[in-house]
Structure 1
């Protein structure tokens, strides 16, 4: 209720005015393109798909290795802070940063995904390891090597959860890889953005259908026995990278990202510059980002409540296959693309961003909630229809659903910053403007503010989740 109240309070401060455009001709062209996809150059399409897969495989391989090691030391606060800082910055921002000294290279794309994913894997792996029973480790003879003990006790127990999460995270990596095309890397997103900008919706639809099929068939072609082969091939498929200039990297780290006054030793002037930037740009943009993400979070909650039944066998029986297909379509569509379509419908405002975030994240949480609903044990005389939904499923699923929404809140805040590229006055809007003006000092400050904001959101969501678990345990004891 507190989150819902905060969302309602935030509404008057957001630009959600309907401009009543006349988009029906353009939407008709988009619909016709979806029904009649076309791509004239099959070789370029295959190359874009291969690059998208190669970036995802290479990045996830590196991130799993780094995240697995960091998870072992995640109980130490410097590791937790470092992981939170890396995962708090969106892949697109990492890509824009790395592009300044690596250029449009394979290294830029791989590191832009691998770095935040390492922080994500470290946190999730540490949580999974902490949930495992300690009894197997207690029966091992003293003096055994810690690595062997880890592999045969904790890792062995956690393996099903780890593999399940890795499959989901690889799907996220595919979306991230595609989105990196929006900054010029040769993935599916590069051709998708070009097709939309040129109004060639048949080509854009062909790319989308290929991407949807790639996501929908993931469980069949991502065989765990073939993953080592995929990863090996991916490193050879990556596009060529130019030589890395160490001098450019050093100049970027030591000069470009710091204000002129600080470089000249004028510390009073540097403090004045930072104060001006924080008060005039960072704080208003951060406040707008938080309010937009809160409204999107509340809207996503409404989406989940009414959307998860269509993919649950308990609710709709065999029709759940169609609902599952719809949710795959919703969660696989990049938020930028959804926001663009809503931009045509309601005009330029924050509303397209809110709707895009709510539908995309609501679709993902609906899918996970529907799977949880099908696992619930039900009595033989359980209710049916709306009574089953209102009195049986929602009360039992709500704590888990809300925990997932809180986890996605951090993601929504990251994505709301990215949607600023469409003109919404979030932190991402000013980051994109700073890069366009080659104001690296301002861009670095804004990205740091984005990281701090996401760290704060993560801390709040963890605190609320701990409270939910405490209330659930107390209720179980009372019962």
Structure 2
């Protein structure tokens, strides 16, 4: 049995991990040539044009109509995709948890097999899945829907399995004693205990699916991403920001709905009836979304199973297996050498991205905490605390509502293609997520030690440095590692627009029909994702 670490040993481990993270981030910066060649010749002027579009978006009737239609299409794809993802996650998550298995060996096999399936499906980014589906079945709405359903189902299923595995054993034992079957244990024991957590996390992933649905549009499917891409191609930044604002509004609306659902699950502020109304609204939204996809878009499932699609899919996946090639790319040492180099570039990009996001979030998180803005934590309050709180929180919403790919598409107009534009795009999106999570950590902390410091005469800054930061930094570190895992999966996305790494080569290989190269790149990408998961999980356990 492992002995718990002493406070001193744990503190030393955390300090050592922090030092390692700083050194690794410094090493990643050495991969960038910080000379004047970073900017495009007209990069400065492009910044001005982008900023002009930001403050003066196009508000014509035609653009607004397009924005409303594209927003609905984005939401319909996300809703349809998440409905499939939930069904897949529920079944696979229950089986991966082992709660339906009899005996240790059956439970072990069930966990190993189904967790392996969930791990594979979630390791590949949804944009990669959409490329694969478009290449095999064409520009069908189902390409976007399935591309969302598979990875999000894998993510949800893994969380569902963990939640079921962590259920307290006392109620389950009582039901077993009463003679309940495995299915009765599931429906009357496990599920009632995790229902609120299931719904809460599904709503959170639905928020993410809205952003991902917009990204799906970049492979030629309709939606907000498609309109943003067209406007960027025409260098119409005012239109770009109009569609971006539509996306931000959509994310804010879903976030508001999600917060109401979470409150109703916790029976806060008299929101009990909202839970039933929300469930009905969700059911109607799913039905309307599928009706729109099937009838308005004319996307019949039978159209996917034509002989033409079967032949094309066989050719595509056969090409990925190297059929028809004398020496497939994954059998060539030179191709492996290039793939390993791109893998290292992708790793470096992810480290730079989480480093930039961490620095930006750390510099802004203190004024973003509500209990610091209102003075309830440190007993210090200034007139500018609330305006600063509002400004930082709005920047967090703006930052995380815009997908990484949209940030990358704008940044490559300013900086020359390479690792730095990709890292900055990833950092901009994750800065808002990290900042929000960290601010909530400060808001949820025990205020008594900080108030004791304030009552002893400590200044506001002394309260922050000696009371707040030591208490929240361990959780900050956990969130940094968690977001790095997510960034690692997303690095391939920003590469699609020239930001370097595996993503850029993946797009080139797809464009030139080098399908066996796709297999090699996907193998390297999955190894990188699994490695990131392992390193992050090991580091988190070491400092708990």
TM-score under structure 2 length normalisation: 0.79
Which residue matches 1:57?
79
In the alignment, the residues of structure 2 paired with residue 286 and residue 252 of structure 1 have an alpha-carbon distance, to the nearest angstrom, of 30
Task: Quote the offset at 1:145 in angstroms.
Answer: 3.1
Task: Quote the offset at 1:407 in angstroms.
Answer: 1.9
Which residue matches 1:144?
180
Is the Cα–Cα contact under 8 Å of residues 425 and 494 in structure 2 kept in the other structure?
no
- Cα distance change of structure 1 residues 143 and 466 upon mapping to structure 2, 3 Å threshold: same
- Report the 3-state secondary structure (helix = DSSP H, G, I; strand = E; otherwise coil) of the residue aligned with 2:500: coil
In the alignment, the residues of structure 2 paired with residue 87 and residue 455 of structure 1 have an alpha-carbon distance, to the nearest angstrom, of 11
Which stretch has the larger CA shift, 168-177 or 145-154? 145-154
Task: Quote the offset at 1:431 in angstroms.
Answer: 0.4
- Cα distance change of structure 1 residues 444 and 402 upon mapping to structure 2, 3 Å threshold: same
How many pairs are equivalent? 466
Q: 1:424 aligned to 2:444? A: no
In the alignment, the residues of structure 1 paired with residue 516 and residue 309 of structure 2 have an alpha-carbon distance, to the nearest angstrom, of 15
Which residue matches 1:4?
22
Gaps of 5+ in 1: 470-479
Whose Rg is larger? Answer: 2
Q: 1:241 aligned to 2:299? A: yes
In the alignment, the residues of structure 2 paired with residue 89 and residue 113 of structure 1 have an alpha-carbon distance, to the nearest angstrom, of 11
- Cα distance change of structure 1 residues 106 and 137 upon mapping to structure 2, 3 Å threshold: same
Which residue matches 2:103?
none
Q: 1:278 aligned to 2:339? A: no
Deviation string for 1:281-329 (max 9, x for gaps)? 2111111111111222222222232222232112223443443222111
> How much is the aligned-residue C-alpha RMSD, in angstroms?
2.5
Which residue matches 1:385?
460
Task: Quote the offset at 1:189 in angstroms.
Answer: 0.2
In the alignment, the residues of structure 1 paired with residue 447 and residue 502 of structure 2 have an alpha-carbon distance, to the nearest angstrom, of 46
Which residue matches 1:337?
406
In the alignment, the residues of structure 2 paired with residue 139 and residue 43 of structure 1 have an alpha-carbon distance, to the nearest angstrom, of 58
Q: 1:44 aligned to 2:72? A: no
Task: Quote the offset at 1:24 in angstroms.
Answer: 3.8
Which residue matches 2:364?
307
Gaps of 5+ in 2: 1-18, 98-110, 259-277, 375-385
Higher normalized contact order (CA 8 Å, seq sep 6+, divided by chain length): 1
Task: Quote the offset at 1:247 in angstroms.
Answer: 4.3
Task: Quote the offset at 1:171 in angstroms.
Answer: 1.0
Q: 1:181 aligned to 2:217? A: yes
Deviation string for 1:369-415 (max 9, x for gaps)? 21121111211434463333322332222222222222221221122
Q: 1:82 aligned to 2:82? A: no
In the alignment, the residues of structure 2 paired with residue 15 and residue 88 of structure 1 have an alpha-carbon distance, to the nearest angstrom, of 31
Q: 1:26 aligned to 2:84? A: no
Which residue matches 2:247?
211
Is the Cα–Cα contact under 8 Å of residues 88 and 452 in structure 1 kept in the other structure?
no
Task: Quote the offset at 1:253 in angstroms.
Answer: 5.9
Which stretch has the larger CA shift, 309-318 or 224-233? 309-318
Which residue matches 1:263?
323
Deviation string for 1:406-427 (max 9, x for gaps)? 2221221122222112323300
Is the Cα–Cα contact under 8 Å of residues 14 and 291 in structure 1 kept in the other structure?
no
- Report the 3-state secondary structure (helix = DSSP H, G, I; strand = E; otherwise coil) of the residue aligned with 1:263: coil
Deviation string for 1:80-135 (max 9, x for gaps)? 22222211111111111001122111110000111001110111122223333222
